[in-house]
Structure formats: C-alpha cells, structure tokens
C-alpha cells in the first residue's frame, strides 16, 4: 500500500523536483547516502552515482561502451549502463508478459537490467555492489561492515532498528531496500519535466515545432519509424503513463562492438536473456540476442547506445534502424565483398531477430522506410523527451 501511495504521488506531481530529505522517508534518506557513497566500493572511488550520474539522467556520464570498475577501476564491464530514471513501474520479468498496447501478443517482458534478471530495484542494487568488475565487494558482510563504519551508520540504525547490524544478511537486505526507497521516492528519478510532458499536459512551453510534430508522426507511423511498436507512449501496466517503452525484449542484430574487451574473444557472445542462469540453452534458444527495450526518455542525452554501446549518436541509431536491411554494409564488416550481417549473434540463434518495420527484411539496395527528412525530424522529436534538469 505504501508503494502504491508513493507512485500515486509521483504521478500526480506530489513530490517536487530536487528530492530534498524533507520529502523522503527515513529509509530513502539512508538510501540516498548509500547511493553516493564511494567508500562502499573496493576501490574507494566508485559509488552507484559514478555510473548512474544524476546530471546525466542517472545514466553514464561518458561515451564508453562499458564502464570501468573493480579493485583499481581498470576492469571493464560487458554491457552498457542503462539509466535508472523512470524504472518505478517496471514489472518483474516474465516469459509471457501482456503487452501494454493491448494489441501485440504476450512475450518476454519486464525486469531490471538489460536481460531482466532482477525483479525489483532492490534486487538490481546488489548486482553492482558484489560484481568483481564493478564495486567489487567480496561479500554482503563487506558491504555491511562499510555501512556500519560510515558517518550515516546511526541514521541507518534509526531507520531500521538499533539491532540491525546484528544480522549481516538482514542488514544487507535493508541496505538494498533503502536504495530502492530512494529511487521510488526521490522525484529526480521521475521528474516528467520534458518539453513533451508540457505538450502532453497542455502546459505553457509545450507547443511542438513543425519539425517536432513531423517527427512525432514518423514515430507513430507503422510504415516509417514504427517506434510506437516497442517504445509505447500511452497508458500501460500498473497505471504507468508515457514511459516510451513497453518493457518487452527484442533482438535487433546490433553489430559487434570490439571496444568491449570481452568481445576480443571471438568465441564470446552476449546472448541476452538466454545467457541468464535461469534460461539455459538449448531450451531457451528462442530468446537469444534479446535485450530489454529501454525508455526513450532522455535518449538524446546518451553518448553510447544499445546493450553493447556500439553507437555513439542518436542519429546513427535511427539510421541503423532505417538501413540495417537496405544498406547493411554501412554497419557490418565486409569480408571479400560479403557483408557479415548480424555478426554479434551466432547463426543458429538468428531466428529470434526482430522483423517489425523498419527492421522487416527489406531487400538490400531497396528504399529505406524513412527519408532523410524523416530521420532528421524523428531525432528532433526525440529531443523533446529530455528532462529539464539534464545536461
């Protein structure tokens, strides 16, 4: 019931931008301390905010494909860091989740992280805390000991009880719950302050320019951008509104990114959902290459795109969607005149490749779904999804 009330306040704008401690519960206040505490990493130089920077919509502050962590901040990750904004309505992962558009058939959807393995924000928070190439704590006990020695230890005890540190596992769970509370309660994780929000709410300053209107039309046109098919912008699950994602998964054949150290091993492939321990091969082969559809809010502020950070500009992302099939040589390696299409997914798993327009297998050399003007207008519209506080 408490979580429902928090989400209702968020939706109605009851929490003001800035997320001051006065608006947060005791648990969320502690979560805020933990989120920005670099001492909780093995290096002493990395916090949650290092990769999820508030100034960059709680996403990465740079153009690296993957971020660096570990004992000396030299160990590379394997996937691009997603934004933590607008995650409050994300349902737990399910192989068959109802699509919020009410039209598409059920399919894989929900969950936190690129492959949905974390059912809640609390579950997600433990992954970087314990991952050897991120914050690199050896155990839950390590994390708890650092919190116990922190300046906010008394605040932690006040929020969760004087004896909270007596049980290491319980204290660790409370730390994760506090991080979740911070993300649910602090309005900076869901400000809804973009130009599009003003437009959708008929507020002053929300008038779209002709180019933005044309771009919005391209976004919704099933024969052009068809963005709406996956980046749904209507009412959805749990009463969520205009989140520009339907929580589903897709394999779109993003080219292999050699910038990721793991990819230097030609036998290594990031298989998305079917790389999860609970979705082993061969039974889960239909999920191979599928990654979660992110929200497009603040997408224009990112500097690395897709699960592997292959693309560095929003314009190239749009162009890839538009010409992946008609001009694959623009994106994939060409060896002895042959385009190595879908080079980051083994041949035996390519049946999972998405076939929705504009990624619908158009003939090479054919006409792309969008004109150059459509591409430019679509990018212009997507910029209206940038929150007012983002750099």
pLDDT over threshold 70, residue 272: yes
For residue 85 the two structure tokens come to 């904004």
What pLDDT score does 224 carry? 97
pLDDT over threshold 50, residue 12: no
CA atoms within 13 A on the CB side of 66: 22
Q: pLDDT tens, 51-68?
A: 999 999 999 999 999 999
pLDDT level of residue 21 (50, 70, 90 thresholds): low
CA distances (Å), 36 to each of 173, 265, 333, 375, in order? 18, 34, 41, 38
pLDDT over threshold 90, residue 252: yes
| DSSP-based three-state secondary structure for 65 | coil
- Measured CA to CA, the distance from residue 344 to residue 257 in angstroms comes to 8
Q: What is the CA radius of gyration of the chain?
A: 21
Instruction: Give the pLDDT mean for 31-48.
Output: 98
Instruction: Give the pLDDT mean for 331-341.
Output: 97
Instruction: Give the pLDDT mean for 91-119.
Output: 91
What pLDDT score does 5 carry? 39
- Measured CA to CA, the distance from residue 302 to residue 57 in angstroms comes to 9
Instruction: Give the pLDDT mean for 184-208.
Output: 93
Q: pLDDT tens, 373-383?
A: 999 999 999 99
% of the chain exceeding 90 in pLDDT: 87
Q: pLDDT tens, 280-334?
A: 999 999 999 999 999 999 999 999 999 999 999 999 999 999 999 999 999 999 9
- Measured CA to CA, the distance from residue 252 to residue 256 in angstroms comes to 12
Contacts 24+ apart (CB under 8 A), 281-289: 285/348, 285/349, 285/352, 286/351, 286/352, 287/95, 287/108, 287/249, 287/352, 288/251, 288/345, 288/346, 288/349, 288/352, 289/251, 289/253, 289/344, 289/345, 289/349, 289/350, 289/352, 289/353
What pLDDT score does 239 carry? 52
- Measured CA to CA, the distance from residue 37 to residue 44 in angstroms comes to 9
pLDDT level of residue 14 (50, 70, 90 thresholds): very low
For residue 64 the two structure tokens come to 């690296």
pLDDT level of residue 240 (50, 70, 90 thresholds): low
| DSSP-based three-state secondary structure for 216 | helix
What pLDDT score does 2 carry? 38
What pLDDT score does 278 carry? 96
Q: What number of H helices and E strands is found in the chain?
A: 11, 8
| DSSP-based three-state secondary structure for 28 | helix
Instruction: Give the pLDDT mean for 145-153.
Output: 98
CA 104 to chain centroid, in Å, comes to: 22
What pLDDT score does 1 carry? 39
pLDDT level of residue 237 (50, 70, 90 thresholds): low
- Measured CA to CA, the distance from residue 84 to residue 295 in angstroms comes to 10
% of the chain exceeding 70 in pLDDT: 93
What are the chain's domains? Answer: 2-79+114-189 (1.10.760.10), 195-385 (1.10.760.10)
Please state the length of the chain.
Answer: 391
As a whole number, the mean pLDDT across the chain is: 92
* H or E segment and range at residue 26: helix 26-35
CA distances (Å), 333 to each of 73, 133, 177, 340, 355, in order? 31, 29, 45, 5, 21
Candidates 23, 9, 376; CA nearest to 182 is 23
């Amino acid at each position: 019931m408490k979580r429902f009330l928090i989400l209702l306040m968020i939706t109605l704008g009851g929490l003001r931008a800035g997320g001051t401690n006065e608006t947060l519960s005791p648990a969320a206040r502690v979560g805020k301390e933990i989120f920005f505490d670099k001492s909780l990493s093995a290096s002493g130089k990395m916090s949650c905010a290092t990769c999820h920077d508030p100034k960059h919509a709680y996403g990465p502050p740079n153009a690296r494909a993957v971020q660096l962590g570990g004992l000396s901040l030299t160990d590379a990750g394997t996937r691009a860091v997603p934004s933590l904004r607008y995650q409050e309505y994300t349902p737990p992962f399910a192989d068959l989740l109802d699509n919020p558009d009410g039209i598409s058939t059920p399919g894989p959807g929900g969950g936190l992280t690129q492959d949905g393995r974390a059912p809640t924000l609390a579950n997600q928070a433990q992954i970087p805390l314990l991952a050897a190439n991120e914050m690199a704590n050896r155990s839950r006990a390590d994390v708890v000991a650092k919190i116990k020695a922190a300046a906010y230890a008394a605040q932690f005890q006040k929020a969760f009880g004087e004896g909270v540190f007596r049980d290491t596992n319980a204290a660790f769970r409370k730390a994760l719950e506090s991080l979740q509370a911070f993300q649910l309660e602090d309005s900076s994780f869901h400000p809804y302050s973009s130009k599009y929000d003003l437009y959708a709410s008929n507020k002053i300053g929300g008038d779209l320019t002709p180019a933005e209107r044309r771009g919005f039309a391209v976004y919704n046109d099933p024969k052009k951008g068809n963005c709406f098919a996956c980046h749904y912008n209507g009412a959805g699950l749990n009463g969520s509104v205009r989140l520009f994602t339907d929580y589903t998964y897709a394999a779109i054949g993003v080219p292999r990114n050699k910038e990721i150290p793991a990819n230097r091993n030609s036998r290594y492939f990031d298989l998305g959902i079917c790389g999860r321990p609970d979705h082993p091969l061969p039974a889960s082969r239909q999920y191979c290459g599928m990654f979660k559809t992110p929200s497009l809010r603040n997408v224009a502020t990112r500097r690395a795109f897709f699960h592997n950070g292959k693309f560095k500009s929003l314009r190239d992302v749009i162009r890839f969607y538009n010409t992946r099939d008609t001009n694959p040589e623009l994106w994939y390696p060409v060896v002895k005149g042959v385009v190595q299409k879908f080079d980051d997914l083994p041949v035996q798993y390519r049946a999972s490749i998405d076939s929705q327009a504009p990624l619908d297998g158009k003939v090479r050399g054919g006409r792309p779904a969008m004109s150059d003007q459509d591409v430019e207008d679509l990018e212009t519209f997507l910029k209206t999804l940038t929150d007012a506080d983002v750099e």
